[in-house]
Amino acid sequence: MAAESDASDDSFESGEPTAVGVKLGSTRTVLKYPDVDGDLSTVRSLTCLATYEDAITGEERALFGERAAAEYPDRVEYMLRSGLPEDDERAELADRYFRELVDANKVPRDSTVVYAVPTMENDAGLENLTDVIESSPIGEVQMRSYPESLCGAVPALGDGVEAVNEVFIAVNMGSTNLEASAYRRGDQLVPFSTGSITGNDVDRRIVANVEEETQGRVHVDLTTAREYKEEHGDFEGFEPFSDVVQQPGGGSHEFTIEDSVQDALNWYLDAAVDAVANEFLPELANDFMKPYQLALSNDIALTGGMACIPGMTEEFERRLSEEIDREVDVVSPDDPDLAATEGAYRIAERLAGR
């Protein structure tokens, strides 16, 4: 939980509405807002909820985020698992989750809120997400939503909201979704998204690779695979690492991982480059030839949690340049997993009149 102080934030004295940035992600929800002292805080929470019965009153109560995941692994619900609330039940769970989250963190209700939302061809899901956003207690002054990849590109391309006035391409690498879009002064052109090149796919491949690399002796779960990826994945200087598993019937088995993690990451990166180079870019060139040329001469913004893997940005730039036979520049913001929220926050500040 990172909290940064910003002495210049004087929304409470000036009477200007407070700006809030929100990304409702399938794995993590991230908020940025000024807390009760006016200090800026960034909160990351697992997007999950568990309900239980109060042992004394018998009333139904809810726990959310890390505590729900740790205490009720047997029945915790990740209601945005596919990226959007798919049905009424999940929409209601998402609504409840978000209320609990903003109440627990005392996010100001009297606020201008910008939501970063995923680009997906799922109208029912998007409508459900809109309902969740509109019925939330925050954003009494104003509420807007912008595509997640546009919000993420904002901190990648400048210190303010310069990206909103440029022509560029943004690629967002999430846990359930890979998204590529071009933007022309904030307008989204040729949105492309796929659910088959994702951070979750990398985790599944790591599970299978570990089993193969250890000749069937070791079976890790998806959470462990994700931790291997996040802690050891590295396109610049991957180092083999060891881990230990307890064996049924006693004793432990130590094993070393040489290839399982990087093989999965190389599959991911090649698939992502292939989709951008051979599906998204040809469509953009076909529909918007001049903006396509302009966008390729500008920086390409690469964001989302998977862009946190060391060397991902440089390697994406190298492989994409090779694939399209043209030198392109790819940039990522400081914290690619928090970038969509940071961009949403900056846009909210601008809307609030700063």
Ligand X SMILES: Nc1ncnc2c1ncn2[C@@H]1O[C@H](COP(=O)(O)OP(=O)(O)OP(=O)(O)O)[C@@H](O)[C@H]1O
Q: Minimum Å distance from CB 304 to Mg ion? A: 6
Q: Which stretch binds ligand X (CB under 6 A): 23-31, 32-40, 215-223, 326-334?
A: 23-31
Residue nearest ligand X by beta-carbon distance: 199
Report the largest interatomic distance among the alpha carbons of the chain, rounded to a whole angstrom: 68
Q: Minimum Å distance from CB 173 to ligand X? A: 7
Of the pair 235, 292, the CB lying nearest ligand X is at: 235
Q: Which stretch binds ligand X (CB under 6 A): 5-13, 53-61, 125-133, 306-314?
A: 306-314
In angstroms and rounded to an integer, the radius of gyration of the C-alpha atoms of the chain is 21
Q: Show contacts with ligand X in window 116-155 (CB under 6 A).
A: 118
* Cα distance between residue 293 and residue 353, in whole Å: 34
Q: Minimum Å distance from CB 241 to ligand X? A: 16
Site string for ligand X, 244-283 (x = CB under 6 A): ----------------------------------------
Query: How far, in Å, are 36, 148, 150, 163, 299 from residue 292 at the CA level?
Result: 45, 20, 16, 16, 12
Site string for ligand X, 154-193 (x = CB under 6 A): --------------------xxxx----------------
Query: How far, in Å, are 242, 248, 352 from residue 211 at the CA level?
Result: 14, 17, 53
* Cα distance between residue 102 and residue 320, in whole Å: 40
For residue 191 the two structure tokens come to 């949105």
**Binding footprint of ligand X, residue count (CB under 6 A):** 21
* Cα distance between residue 282 and residue 292, in whole Å: 9
Q: Does 305 bind ligand X (CB under 6 A)?
A: yes
Residue with tokens 């964001």, as numbered in its chain: 303
Tell me if 164 sits within 8 A of 347, measured CB to CB: yes
Q: Which of 102, 306, 320, 328 binds ligand X (CB under 6 A)?
A: 306
Q: Does 42 bind ligand X (CB under 6 A)?
A: no
Instruction: Tell how strand 111-117 and strand 142-147 pair up.
Output: parallel
Q: Which of 139, 199, 291, 343 binds ligand X (CB under 6 A)?
A: 199
Q: Minimum Å distance from CB 306 to ligand X? A: 4
Q: Which of 11, 27, 41, 262 binds ligand X (CB under 6 A)?
A: 27
Of the pair 26, 128, the CB lying nearest ligand X is at: 26
Of the pair 128, 177, the CB lying nearest ligand X is at: 177
Site string for Mg ion, 4-43 (x = CB under 5 A): ---------------------x------------------
Q: Which of 9, 18, 19, 26 binds ligand X (CB under 6 A)?
A: 26
Q: Which stretch binds ligand X (CB under 6 A): 10-18, 96-104, 163-171, 301-309?
A: 301-309
Q: Which of 34, 155, 174, 333 binds Mg ion (CB under 5 A)?
A: 174
Q: Which stretch binds Mg ion (CB under 5 A): 11-19, 91-99, 153-161, 167-175?
A: 167-175
Q: Which residues bind Mg ion (CB under 5 A)?
A: 25, 174
Q: Which residues bind ligand X (CB under 6 A)?
A: 25-28, 83, 118, 174-177, 199-200, 226, 229-230, 304-306, 308-309, 337
